[in-house]
Amino acid sequence: MSSQIWHKKLLRRLRRPDNACHILNAPAEIRIFIYRYIAPQGFLPYTPYQHYMGLFLCCKKINGELTHETLRGALTVLDGIYLTPTTTVTLLRPLQPHSFTSLMHVSLDVPLWSLYSTKLDYNFIEIASPLMKLHLSSLTIALKGISSPSDFALMSAVLSGTELWVWNEDRNALNNLLVSDADAHYDVHTTYDSIVGFVAAINCLLAPQLCNDNHQTDTNVWCARARLTAPLADTVCNIRKVIFTLKQFHDESPLPWGELPRDTYPENCLKGRWMPAVEQRLLRREGWEASWAGRDGRVNVREDDEPSQFVWKMVKKENRWRKLFQRK
């Protein structure tokens, strides 16, 4: 048996041409043209990794040329997304990636004050759509506080007078709180109920079919498209992993009659808080799996643990028998 294996290996070696890769003998201009044929502008995240990974790993020279073309195109592509009118309140990182790996892991900072705006809150779907079309390994989303005078000026220009008043009230509320580590918390009074609508919108972003009357009956209140007055086209997400990182929340504020917000806490207790994984079965139909991690790093352990991050992963296509079972 072993002799047959060695015989096959020998025949395979004899079939190899003297020049292992003819593309290396071509002028560099020809190779660059081939790279741009694989992906527009030579920017690899425009196309699935299966289309270029074999060529990318075949030799060091081609790897370097592909990386150079991709990083050169990244400045145009990412800056183009960042400078569009709808993304004036977001910050993409890195805008100047230094390696192919850093390019495939992009971060998106969203100002926390944008959640106070009725115009920008659920328009995050429209803001993130151009980025979601890229074939990236991961996208990390975080809520960013005000860190410079320009941030405050932008907030003042976007928020209405009433929205600014609400933001200022939440900012002043921190003066009455004893917080041991201010850097671990947001710069305004922020509870889980404050951000849950934004978190729920990511379900709509990744799996737009959920918005077509497919949400769980008791969670349809969080549908982002239902809250938008103008129709929003279905989005396409090619990013393989989306991470939403969170700072520590301030204590939840009960309503005047003593109950917790009903939409966020249907069972009126911290253990019954709404999370993206509530729609796990529906998300899996669309090719996604949602999970969350507590402050101790453990995943999906105790429902009353405060989440430190939510994670959505693209799952492999399941066999048709499992899909048939899930439809029942």
Please tell me the predicted confidence (pLDDT) of residue 327.
46
Among 44-58, 139-153, 216-230, 279-293, the least confident range = 216-230
| Spacing of C-alpha 125 from chain mean position | 11
Residues paired with 311 in a beta bridge: 243, 291
Please tell me the predicted confidence (pLDDT) of residue 288.
93
CA angle 190, 302, 187 (to 5 degrees): 15
Query: How far apart are alpha carbons 248 and 246 in whole angstroms?
Result: 7
Every domain of the chain and the residues it spans = 24-83, 89-327
Distances (CA, A) of 71 to 65, 74, 158: 10, 5, 33
Confidence bin at 180 (pLDDT 50/70/90):
low
Please tell me the predicted confidence (pLDDT) of residue 122.
53
- Specify the higher pLDDT residue, 82 or 309: 309
Please tell me the predicted confidence (pLDDT) of residue 289.
92
pLDDT over threshold 50, residue 234: yes
SS (H, E, C) the chain: CHHHHHHHHHHHHHHCCCCCCHHHHCCHHHHHHHHHHHCHHHCHHHCCHHHCHHHHCCCHHHHHHHHHHHHHHHHHHHHHHHCCHHHCCCEEECCCCCCHHHHCEEEEEEEHHHHHCCCCCCCHHHHHHHHHCCCCCEEEEEEECCCCHHHHHHHHHHCCHHHHHHHHHHHHHHHHCCCCCHHHECCCCCCHHHHHHHHHHHHHHHCHHHHCCCCCHHHHHHCHHHHCCCCCCCCCCCCCEEEEECCECCCCCCCCCCCCCCCCCCCCCHHHCCCHHHHHHHHHHCCEEEEEEECCCCECCCCCCCEEEEEEEECCCCCHHHHHHHHC
Mean of per-residue pLDDT scores for the chain = 79
pLDDT over threshold 80, residue 19: no
Neighbours of 78 (CB within 10 A): 23
Please tell me the predicted confidence (pLDDT) of residue 324.
42
Please tell me the predicted confidence (pLDDT) of residue 138.
93
Lookup: tokens for 218: 């008791």
Confidence bin at 325 (pLDDT 50/70/90):
very low
| Contact (Cβ atoms closer than 8 angstroms) between residue 103 and residue 70 | yes
- Specify the higher pLDDT residue, 146 or 94: 146
pLDDT over threshold 80, residue 298: no
Among 189-198, 220-229, 295-304, the least confident range = 295-304
Instruction: Specify the pTM.
Output: 0.82
Among residues of the chain, what percentage have pLDDT more than 70?
74
- Specify the higher pLDDT residue, 207 or 89: 207
- Specify the higher pLDDT residue, 94 or 68: 68
Among residues of the chain, what percentage have pLDDT more than 90?
15
